Structure 1
Amino acid sequence: MSNPIHLPIVKVTVLEDRALVERRADVVLPAGPQRLRVEGLSPLAVDRSLQAQLTGGTVAQARVSRTWKEKPRGESARAQWTELRRRVEDLEAEWKRAQVDVQRLRARMEVVHVAREDVLRAIAELSGAGRAKPESWHEQLETVRKETASVEDALQRAHSHVQEAWQRLVEARAALLQSEQPEQQLVTAAELEANHPAGGTVSLRVTYLVPCAVWRPAYRATLAPAEGGEAVTLECEAVVWQRTEEEWKDVELLFSTARPTLGASPPRLMEDWLRLRDKSEQEKHTVEVSIREEVIQTTGEGGASQTESMPGLDDGGEALTLRAAHRVTVPGDGAPHRVPLFQFSAPAASELIGYPEHSPLVHRVARFDNRGPAVLLAGPVDLVRSSGYVGRSQLKFTGVGEKLKLGFGSEDTLRIARLVDSKQDTQRLTGKRTRTHQVKLFLSNTGPRAEKVVLEERMPVSEVEAVEVRLLQEQTKPAPAKVSEDGIVRFELAAPPRSQQELAFAYSVASSAKVAGL
């Protein structure tokens, strides 16, 4: 016979799409082999993941058992049963009253039939005696006919009422019978075959995996003035959903990016034949060139590591475990619950940046270092300034100490207009083609305060000698502050109050006659 034991949940490790639940407590056991039954497990517990440990003893076997038991009735069930019982009683009384009405109408119909027979008998007797009264007989027969029609119509309605009342009574009795049936619930327990040589108070630990639990990181960034400049306070939280039919009450909560179900297998080797051939005369005199958009593959400020083939949490390829700041209670209602993890403040350098190619708006962008105790996983971030909530953005994967940037909304007083013009020139002798791109930017400041604005444009970068990309310095005014190796041209401008200024930016793409594809 198994001894029932209740072990509370003390620790939960939430993975990407499941959770590892740990139950632990001190129990008193007698010496020798025995069977233990740990009740209260989730019905969704994965059987093969069950593990049990007993200090000072051994657990020979552990398995998950599931049985159906009658669920105890609560106050709500009794109130619902009383309402159904009252409805059944009312319908029974209504059905009986309807039957009484039918019997009364049938008796009335018999009286009408007797009256009609009396009228017909009187007509026969008086006609034989020579005392005919046709006017009186016609009136009496008309009265009997009207009464017969009225009683028949009422009797038909009474029969319909009886049938309807009976149908409602049958449905109510069926509902009452169904509510009186005991509700079943699935009781899940862990059955252990344990052995403790000495007995006494020992520590029993049971762990198992459950699905229907998930977590994702979320952030809140606040940009505020600080001594000597500005500072960003970043709060990291974990949003947890769980519907495991267990309540995680006052538990130690951990969040992991590990994927225990992800199998690792070497790639399958396949034959790859390489063949050489001589180029044709046309291929010898032609260079195939194509223009492509390329995303810079970095973390932190430059971008994010790409994990399109593996959706979910982006941990940079290394499993991480984050711990909640305090014990947490997460009910199994399937609703999102936010759990604080950590927060930090870091000095920030903010500037107004515009990307005219994408938007006419100018945004406040702050750059700061990750001074938190752990890396920042990719996730949504709520943006807050001194004026309040300004929007939501996406935080990229950022390592500890790495620099990142966040945009804190646009400035309403600054706008950018962009005009693009291009022309191509071909030399007749050499066939060299030169395409010139001219971009005009108009920056407007309608506010009463002077601002420093940074505008970033881009130009293509050539990877072959047959194509040359050159910034036209004489047509670019004012001169750019920086041109990166990726083709990002940075302009730093001073926008006086209530002013408008023009910026010219030009570059050329020169290619020889044998280049094809541009």
Structure 2
Amino acid sequence: MMYPPIHLPIVKVTVLEDRALVERHAEVVLSPGAQLVRVEGLSPLAVDRSLQAQLTGGSVAQARLHRAWKQKPREGSPEGKTEPRRRVDTLEAEWKRAQVDVQRLQSRVEVVNAAREDVLRAIAEFAGAGEARPESWHEQLEAVRASTTAAEEALRQARQHAERTRQRLVEAQAALAQGEQPEPLLVTTAELQVEHPTGGSVSLRLTYLVPCAVWRPAYRATLASTGGGESVTLECEAVVWQRTEEEWKDVELLLSTARPTLGAAPPRLVEDWLRLRDKSEQEKHTVDVAVREEVIQKTGEGGAHQTEELPGLDDGGEALTLTARHRVTLPSNGAPHRVPLFAFTAPAVSEFVGHPEHSPLVHRVARFDNRGPAVLLAGPVELVRASGYVGRAQLKFTGVGERLALGFGSEDTLRIVRQADVKYDTQRLTGRRTRTHLVKLFLSHTGERPVRVAIEERMPVSEVEAVEVKLLEEQTRPPPTKVSEEGILRFELAAPPRSQQELTLAYAVASSAKVSGL
């Protein structure tokens, strides 16, 4: 037995990286035994093999999608008229008014001609009776002639206007006939072969995958001053796009980083032959080295954790699922829609930090802990201070409780000028080469208040014994506050109002004679 099509509303949507899992659910009334149930209103983009149906108290023997082309019904209300249709209606009304004007002017011309005939007949009658009135007859003929000329000119212009309006109407009707062809509509229906022993009101659930849906995280960080210091309020939102040809109205929205289509396979094994050979005399006395730039791989503050599998969401290798705060409505228009996820406020410590090797500007950097309920995925973050919007940055992947740093714009009163010089020296007896780097930094402060500034510079780190990198402490003034294992030197300076300071950094790179590549 086949019942009329039923409609199951969308109650839950899980948006993945490049698709969405749609769930429809409702209570339906079934008869006992086997029957065919049709669920209408599905997206034409629904993936056939992903269709699944669940029936409480019964079984679903078969579930498949059926698609059929139907003519889209025309809009009957005046609000639903298209622009070509409104143009045709306007020209039809204008053409009718033009025809009325032509008929009115034709009647006027006939009246003027009749008056002219009356004047000529009166002149003939008076002339036959021996009465001559040449001046009066001249005035009457001139008045009749002027009225006839004006009426005929108005009639001519009215006919031209009517003809132009008719031509425009014909063109508009042709464009309407060509543009408003019957538009086909692809109707998608889920056909379910179900069986229920008792029938009655049962719960029917339908799930399927659809493409053309995507989401990405976005953030908004606000730096504010509190009574005891500073704090950062971080708001996490999901920007969702969907063009699935179905509206998600008042649905429970979940955002997932899972990639169900990313297949996992063991690496392909290939033969790798290792061969031993003796070094040549030149190779025994030569060490090949090279200078390379390497990004410090970590998450959180200053992190550069990135995925190299596919562009898109970076979840750190573990699939995550985030839930929207409330039910949302997302139309199928392909426009971005922002959905709030969570927000938190954490105490922050801010300072002025400069990296003169990259920029002469000094930025205010705030450091705080991730106190949110979930990890922070990589995404853009809008930066806001008490003065308003200050810029946009990129937030790296940060775990729960991990510390992160955000730069909230540059300080106009602080500038750093960097000058670098390199000197080379080679010993004649041993052939040992020494390269001395001398970096001078000039910090200027034009503000009215004293501030503290942290300046970070770097020097290379050696990985081989034949190359030695040494910080020249005698020439480095002031001494660095901290030197990390990666070669990052941090200088902390106090900048008085309207002052200028000079900082000198010196380090030497020494290599033996057998080292090549430097």
**Do they fold alike, i.e. is TM over 0.5?**
yes
1:84 is paired with a residue whose SS is helix
Displacement after TM superposition at 1:309 (Å) = 3.6
Shift of 1:28: 1.2
1:66 aligns with 2:70: no
Normalised TM-score (structure 2): 0.84
1:410 aligns with 2:414: no
**Counterpart residue number, 2:508:** 508
* Residue identity matched to 1:250: D
Whole-angstrom CA distance in 2 between matches of 1:465 and 1:481: 27
Q: Which residue of 2 aligns with 1:101?
A: none
- In the TM superposition, what are the counterparts of 1:482-493 in structure 2 within 5 Å? 482-493=482-493
In the superposition, relative to structure 1, how do residues 398 and 180 fare at CA in structure 2: closer, same or farther (>3 Å)?
closer
Partner of 2:287 in structure 1? 287
2:36 is equivalent to residue 35 of structure 1:
yes
Match of 1:84 in 2: 88
The alpha-carbon deviation at position 68 of structure 1 amounts to 1.8
**Any residues of structure 2 matched to 1:79-478 within 5 Å, and which?**
80-81=84-85, 83-84=87-88, 87=91, 171-178=171-178, 181-478=181-478
TM-score by length of 1: 0.84
- Residue 6 of structure 1 deviates from its aligned partner by 0.5
Q: CA distance change for structure 1 residues 204 and 466 in 2, over 3 Å: closer, same or farther?
A: same
SS at match of 2:301: helix
Q: Give the distance between the partners of 1:172 and 1:251, measured in 2 at CA.
A: 44
After superposition, the Cα gap between the structure-2 partners of 1:89 and 1:342, relative to the gap in structure 1 and judged at 3 Å, is: closer
Q: Is the 8 A contact 1:81 1:179 kept in 2?
A: no
Deviation at 1:83, TM superposition (A): 4.3
What is the aligned residue count?
456
2:6 paired with 1:5? yes
Cα distance in 2, alignment partners of residues 209 and 94 from structure 1: 58
| C-alpha deviation, 1:3, in angstroms | 2.7
- In the TM superposition, residue 89 of structure 1 has moved relative to its aligned partner by 8.8
Moved more, 304-313 or 439-448: 304-313
Counterparts of 1:64 and 1:367, CA distance in 2: 53
Q: How far apart, in 2, do the equivalents of 1:90 and 1:407 lie?
A: 64
Q: Report the Cα distance in structure 1 between the residues aligned to 2:475 and 2:180, rounded to whole angstroms.
A: 89
Q: Residues of 1 paired with 2:237 and 2:19: CA distance?
A: 18
3-state SS of 2:5 partner? strand
Deviations 1:437-495 (A, max 9, x none): 00110000100000000000000000011110000000000111011110001101000
- CA deviation after TM superposition for structure 1 residue 183, in Å: 3.1
CA RMSD of aligned residues (A): 2.4
User: What SS is found at the alignment partner of 1:283?
Assistant: helix
Per the TM alignment, residue 177 of structure 1 is displaced from its structure 2 partner at its CA by 3.9
Letter in 1 for 2:57: G
- What amino acid is aligned across from residue 209 of structure 1 in structure 2? L
Closer, same or farther: CA 271–167 of 1 in aligned 2, 3 Å? farther
The C-alpha deviation readout for 1:55-88, integer Å capped at 9, x for no partner, is 1111111111111223222225557546436647
Q: Which amino acid aligns with 1:446?
A: T
Which stretch of the first structure deviates more once superposed, 175-184 or 43-52? 175-184
What is the deviation of 1:187? Answer: 1.2
User: Which 5+ residue runs of structure 2 have no aligned equivalent?
Assistant: 100-160
Q: Is the 2:91–2:165 Cα contact (8 Å) retained in structure 1?
A: no
Give the counterpart letter for 2:273 in structure 1. W
Q: Secondary structure in 1 aligned to 2:419?
A: strand
After TM superposition, give the deviation of residue 302 of structure 1 in Å.
3.4
Identity fraction in percent: 76
Secondary structure of the equivalent of 2:236?
strand
1:514 and 1:376 map into 2 onto residues whose CA distance is 49
Give, as a single letter, the amino acid of the residue that structure 2 aligns with 1:66.
Answer: R
* Bigger shift: residues 63-72 or 301-310: 301-310
Structure 2: distance between partners of 1:341 and 1:424: 57
Match of 1:115?
none
CA distance in 2, matches of 1:29, 1:497: 83
2:356, 2:416 within 8 Å by CA — same for their partners in 1? yes
SS at match of 1:424: strand
2:468 alignment partner, SS class = strand
Of the structure 1 ranges 299-308 and 416-425, higher mean CA displacement relative to structure 2 is found in: 299-308
Report deviation, 1:31: 1.0
Letter in 1 for 2:26: A
Judged with a 3 Å threshold, the aligned counterparts in structure 2 of structure 1 residues 167 and 271 are, in CA distance, closer, same or farther, namely farther
Deviation (angstroms), 1:390: 0.6
Q: Write the distance in 2 (CA, Å) between the matches of 1:166 and 1:85.
A: 12
Change (3 A) 1:22 1:467: same
Q: Per the alignment, do residues 475 and 70 of structure 1 end up closer, same or farther by CA in structure 2, a change over 3 Å counting?
A: same
CA distance in 2, matches of 1:179, 1:352: 63
Which secondary structure state, in structure 2, belongs to the residue aligned with residue 48 of structure 1? helix
- Deviation (angstroms), 1:176: 4.6
